[in-house]
Structure 1
Amino acid sequence: MTQDVPEAAAAAMVEGELAVSNLALLHGRLRPCFVRVKPFAQAEKYMSALISDLPRKNGWTIAEHAGDLTPDATQRLLNHAVWDHDRAQRVVRRFVIEELGDQPLRVGALDESGQEKQGESTAGAKRQYMGCAGRIANGVNTVYCSYATPGGHALVGARIYVPEEQITVEHRAVLGIPDDVEFKTKSQLAQDILADMIADATIPPWIAGDEVYGRAGKLRAFMADNGIGYVMRVGCAFTIETGPGQRIRADTAVATHLAGRKHKMRWQVCSVTGSKGERAYAWAWLATTRPRHFLLIRKHLQTGELAYHYCHVPAGRPITLMTLVRVACLRWPVEEGFEFSKDHFGLDHSQVRLYTALLRHIVLTLAALAVCAVTAAQARTQAPAPILPRTGDDQPPKDLGLIALTVAEVKRLFMLVTRRLLPEAHHLHWIWWRRRHQARARWFHHRTRLRRQIGQT
């Protein structure tokens, strides 16, 4: 086993160099977004700092990491420098999709995430429900789209939610909100992101979202009109049309057409691979009177809890239950994208207040995440198949190998290459050790799931 450490370390260093190369590649593609050379160079320093191990990533810490004598250049990059951050967001999206676009299933996952803020002097800040806090709090919400595939995922679109009361002349001046920014609901912001993806030909074949977006009829109509399939989460009170002029609630439809022993055969147990193993649920679907529209229902195998999804399959695509199930299950990577972006890249660390500065920080964070996510996806294509148990009685083999490089490990390798952390062998040993023990934890997690499925203790 110890002989494998140098080989794994050498391979890991290659991926670290690849991450550095990917940052240089993405940074080079951003050049047309900048008018002047100095802000363009500062953007590379900013992204490198976001990938670093700084515990807090704000103007002061980023400037110190970049070797600047004051934070002026960093603050100018976010607030006053002339560069097109919307175009930069498109460049980042194209960079991600070039790597992940050949995957067999591609899903755009819509969701919002927030950053808590104090006071009322930040663009978008107000008392509202903040998912990051799990309660009503003061902060800023932003709508995101994740480009999710079985081979990897990354955030590729963002729109800041600006409360209606801030769209006034006096508030615009104080908060730096541009004149072309109008009040829009979260579903309208999501539609704007999708419209941009359609315009630059980066729209995936499928879109998934939670109830905030599932109950937005105009958003669903927009996707259907543009030939985009969707699997959108809806509530139990969502109504579907089961006959001419007949609309019933989703829970009523299930009770009528899927409940009881006589309908047991209409449920299928489908297992989809997740980050922590196979996740099995019972699934069923009901056709509606609208052509190619369905109600997809997920039932928890132990608790019987139901979840509802309203689905549309565009013309020309095969209609299968398993496809809709897989799309529904690719909604969750957007949550992982939020976790990575906040824990590792400082998405919610910025201390800026103005609208443009906040959006620019988000765009540069998405770029930093894209570098590591793309590198991890490239490394995954070379990784051996994971060693997993087949039954709940299997015993672990002596060597379970290593897990594929994760975004977090790519980030550490990037720092190792660029900062030349010493002793290098010590850090490489720890990267190998984590991947080995995570592979072992994954094996036992899978075995526990297998035992649970067959009722073993």
Structure 2
Amino acid sequence: MDTIGARFTRPEPRRRVRDFVAGLLAPLPAKNCWTIAEHAGDDGPGGMQDLIGRASWDDTLVRADVRDFVTAHLGHPDAILVVDETGDLKKGTRTVGVQRQYSGTAGKIENCQLAVHLSYASPLGHTLVDVALYLPRSWAEDPGRRAEAGVPETVTFATKPQLARRLIDTALAGGLPCRWVAGDEAYGGDPHLAAALRGRRLGYVLAVACSHHVPTGLGKHRADQIAAGLPKHAWQRISAGDGAKGHRYYDWAFITLPLAADQHAGHHWLLIRRTRSTGELAFYRCWSPQPVPLQQLVTVAGSRWRVEESFQAAKTGLGLDQHQHRRWRAWHRWTTLVIAAHAFLAAAATVSTTNAEDMIAITANELRRLFHALIIEPARRIADLIAWSIFRRRHQATARTSHYARQALTEP
């Protein structure tokens, strides 16, 4: 709150933001304005709903403050920006950005909402730092749907790689220190994003499809054709990072691509990963302003899993996908406060250290449980719980009376 509080000019919204984030950190069975208001001891959900939907504050500036907070607590010159998308399954067609589209989260085409997230991974920790909601063309070109969902006039259709580029540009302009960018095939297959990163002198390890064509001394060849022709000694067993059950070992090979040179100079490689148990292959286009060893490229490729860990923590523990808001501004505000809560946990976890050999370092999820049990929960009042029980029953009685009255108009 010392970081973002100045964005809220009055004490009431400052208090509500504090209570809202505390509610996100709490182990509530479901997170929405009703449950968070009850947890905060408010006399109803109206204040929290007003904070998310109507109060005067700029979520873009709050995310900028969160980025500064991350820079101060997790910043490192060798850090990695990871771009990835996540989908939230939704019903109906009125929630902003929702349509039937492929969701990597579900692994198939679903009625869902997609957002491109920017994650920051450094030797000190990792966290979400920024987000851009993907607005499909069917939404971007429909004035009626845009108006109903409150989409600003300045927002136009942009592909996911274009959204990722904007997020990266914003992070760099804000002074977030980093050296690398990592992403999956949705971003590695876009040559404009790769060229923009080279122009920024940012190294990258971006996944590409097996059909991706690579320039070699004998012309352009598919990535899987190049892998098939590699000799046995070209492969090296290297860990892509520590996992919960041990090192994540794969076989790796990389091929220098001198014919891929462009006006940005630097060094190009094709990196190939082979799963040791199944032989499944994955391919990456890599670039760096300076020569780097294979181990460095493998480390960057393995860091992409950090964003999946952040998604899991933000969804299961902080309610990232539990919002019940249909409009553009409310969606961004909810997501921004979830990002702020996640950044707080990531930074606080770096402060907690242990020298015990029989314990791992504290995780963000464990810290969230302790913070709630030791800090938030003792401050709550029993009277608040009773007051909300009365409020809920009165609200339900009013709703029931309205339903019966409406039915009496049409039924004998």
After TM superposition, is the score higher than 0.5?
yes
Alpha-carbon displacement from aligned partner over 1:117-145 (angstroms, at most 9, x marks no partner): 11111111111112232221111111001
Please give the alpha-carbon distance, in whole angstroms, between the structure 2 residues aligned to 1:81 and 1:406. Answer: 34
Q: Which of 68, 72, 75 is matched with 1:98 structurally? A: 72
Aligned match of 1:408: 365
Aligned residue number for residue 28 of structure 2: 54
Task: Determine whether 1:137 maps to 2:110.
Answer: yes
Q: Deviations over 1:96-122 (max 9, x none)?
A: 2322223x7411111101111111111
Letter in 2 for 1:334: V
Cα distance between partner residues in 1 of 2:321 and 2:213: 37
**What is the aligned counterpart of 2:329 among 356, 364, 371?**
356
Structure 1 outlier segments of 4+, above 6 Å:
none
Instruction: In structure 1, give the amino acid aligned to 2:248.
Output: R
Q: Supply the distance in 1 between the matched residues of 2:188 and 2:47 (Cα, whole angstroms).
A: 42
Structure 1 residue 32 corresponds to structure 2 residue 13: no
Aligned counterpart, 2:127: 154
Alpha-carbon shift at residue 329 of structure 1 (Å): 0.5
1:345 is paired with a residue whose SS is coil
Name which of 264, 272, 276 aligns with 1:301. Answer: 276
Select which of 240, 243, 268 maps to 1:275: 243
In the other structure, the counterpart of 2:255 is: 286
Task: Provide the C-alpha distance between the structure 2 equivalents of 1:303 and 1:275, rounded to a whole number of angstroms.
Answer: 19
Is the contact between residue 154 and residue 369 of structure 1 (CA under 8 Å) also seen in structure 2? yes
- Scaled by the length of structure 2, the TM-score of the pair is 0.87
CA distance in 2, matches of 1:39, 1:177: 23
Task: Please list, as runs of the form range in 1=range in 2, the aligned pairs for 1:184-333 lying within 5 A after superposition.
Answer: 184-243=158-217, 246-256=219-229, 258=230, 263-276=231-244, 277-288=246-257, 289-291=259-261, 292-314=267-289, 317-333=290-306
2:51 corresponds to 1:77: yes
Give unpaired runs (5+ residues) of structure 2: 262-266, 380-412
Task: Within 5 Å, give how 1:422-433 maps onto structure 2.
Answer: none
For residue 372 of structure 1, what is the aligned residue in structure 2?
345
Q: Distance in 1 between matches of 2:163 and 2:132?
A: 6
Matched to 2:364, the amino acid is V
Give the whole-Å Cα distance in 2 for the aligned partners of 1:86 and 1:296.
36
Q: Percent identity?
A: 39
2:405 maps to none
Q: Distance in 2 between matches of 1:179 and 1:36?
A: 28
State the one-letter code of the partner of 2:250. Y
Q: 1:86 aligns with which of 50, 57, 60?
A: 60
- Give me the whole-angstrom Cα distance separating, in 1, the residues matched to 2:323 and 2:273: 39
Partner amino acid for 1:148? A
**Which consecutive residues of structure 1, in runs of 5 or more, have no partner in the other structure?**
1-26, 388-400, 423-457
2:368 aligned counterpart, secondary structure: helix
Between the aligned partners of 2:372 and 2:271, the Cα distance in structure 1 is 45
Larger mean Cα displacement after TM superposition, 125-134 or 337-346: 125-134
Q: 1:421: Cα distance to partner?
A: 5.4
1:114 and 1:130 in contact (8 A); partners too: yes
Q: Is 1:171 paired with 2:132?
A: no
1:343 aligns with 2:312: no
Distance 1:301 1:166 in 2: 44
Q: In the TM superposition, what is the alpha-carbon distance from 1:189 to its structure 2 partner? A: 0.7
- Give secondary structure in 2 for the equivalent of 1:28: coil
What TM-score do you get using the length of structure 1 for normalisation? 0.78
Asked if the contact 1:209/1:233 (under 8 Å) is kept, the reply is yes
Q: How does 1:107-118 map to 2 (within 5 A)?
A: 107-118=80-91
Q: Which residue of 2 aligns with 1:11?
A: none
Q: Displacement of 1:420 after TM fit?
A: 4.4
Q: Distance in 2 between matches of 1:198 and 1:112?
A: 20
Per-residue CA deviations over 1:5-43 (Å, capped at 9, x if unaligned) read xxxxxxxxxxxxxxxxxxxxxx12213322433222211
The one-letter amino acid paired with 2:187 is Y
Contact 1:207 1:231 in 2 (8 A): yes
- Structure 2: which amino acid aligns with 1:189? L
Q: Is the 8 A contact 1:194 1:203 kept in 2?
A: no
Check conservation: 2:125, 2:346, Cα contact below 8 A: yes
| Preserved contact between residue 241 and residue 299 of structure 2 (Cα < 8 Å) | no
State whether residues 323 and 331 of structure 2, in contact with CA within 8 Å, keep that contact through their aligned partners in structure 1: yes
Per-residue deviation, 1:203: 4.7
DSSP-derived class of the 1:29 partner: coil
Aligned residue identity for 1:309: Y
Q: Letter of the aligned partner of 2:56 in structure 1?
A: V
Q: Is the 8 A contact 1:146 1:155 kept in 2?
A: yes
